[in-house]
């Protein structure tokens, strides 16, 4: 079974095989975690993203991590949340699955996820966390041994811990 860990902090600091970037469809950088990852990885990351020609919502593409302690960055555009009736849950689930599939293909054992779509894309935190934890738990892993949910802030950490451990901190 896959090991799940919840940590709080900056995903760019994690020395794992792959960190996931909550990107936008252009893959050319943005704010939030995307901006932080591009700043920490250095300009080579943008140079590597340009020829990828963007990415559809729910899909994922991989690049090296360049100056990051992580070997790879897996870029996935999450859905913009409207009202939950526009395919958002399936698209968010697809982000987690696409990233894990790419991690498997690239022999990654440790993968760290930010809370995809919960920033400017507006996904309600409880619902997004539920999808993240359920999808990771149900994914048929072969090579990925450990998933880290990297939470930005104590409130997000509390929600993740509650879902993962079924306990409040
Ligand atoms: P989205 O467009 O998918 O909503 P955001 O980057 O706006 O992406 O937010 C996604 C999540 O990443 C939010 O919960 C935000 O608080 C968090 N976040 C922002 N910066 C970092 C970081 N450096 N490390 C980890 N998580 C981060």
| pLDDT score of 1 | 82
pLDDT along the chain (169 residues), means of 10: 95 98 96 98 98 98 98 98 97 98 98 98 98 96 97 97 76
Q: Is 54 in the pocket of ligand 1 (CB under 6 A)?
A: no
CB-based contact 47:128 (threshold 8 Å): no
Decide: 33 and 64 in contact? Cβ < 8 Å: no
- 37 within 8 A of 24, measured Cβ to Cβ: no
Domains and CATH numbers, the chain: 3-165 (3.40.220.10)
Q: How far apart are CA 18 and CA 41, in angstroms?
A: 13
pLDDT score recorded for residue 23: 98
The reply to whether the predicted model has a pTM over 0.75 is yes
- Please tell me if the CB atom of residue 80 comes closer than 6 angstroms to any atom of ligand 1: no
- Contact in structure between 149 and 5 (CB atoms under 8 Å): yes
- The first and second tokens of residue 34, run together, are 């995307």
Q: How far is the CA of 1 from the centre of ligand 1 (A)?
A: 27
Distance from residue 129's CA to the centre of ligand 1 (Å): 13
């Amino acid at each position: 079974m896959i090991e799940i860990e919840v940590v709080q902090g900056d995903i760019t600091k994690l020395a794992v095989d792959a960190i996931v970037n909550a990107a936008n469809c252009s893959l050319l950088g943005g704010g939030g975690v995307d901006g932080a990852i591009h700043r920490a990885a250095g300009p080579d990351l943008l140079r590597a993203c340009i020829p990828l020609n963007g990415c559809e919502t729910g899909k994922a593409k991989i690049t090296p991590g360049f100056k990051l302690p992580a070997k790879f960055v897996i870029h996935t555009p999450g859905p913009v949340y409207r009202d939950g009736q526009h395919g958002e849950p399936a698209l968010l689930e697809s982000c987690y699955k696409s990233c894990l599939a790419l991690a498997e293909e690239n022999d990654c054992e440790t993968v760290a996820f930010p809370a995809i779509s919960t920033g400017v894309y507006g996904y309600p935190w409880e619902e997004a966390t539920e999808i993240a934890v359920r999808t990771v738990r149900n994914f048929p892993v072969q090579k990925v041994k450990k998933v880290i949910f990297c939470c930005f802030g104590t409130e997000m950490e509390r929600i993740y811990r509650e879902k993962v451990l079924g306990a409040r901190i």
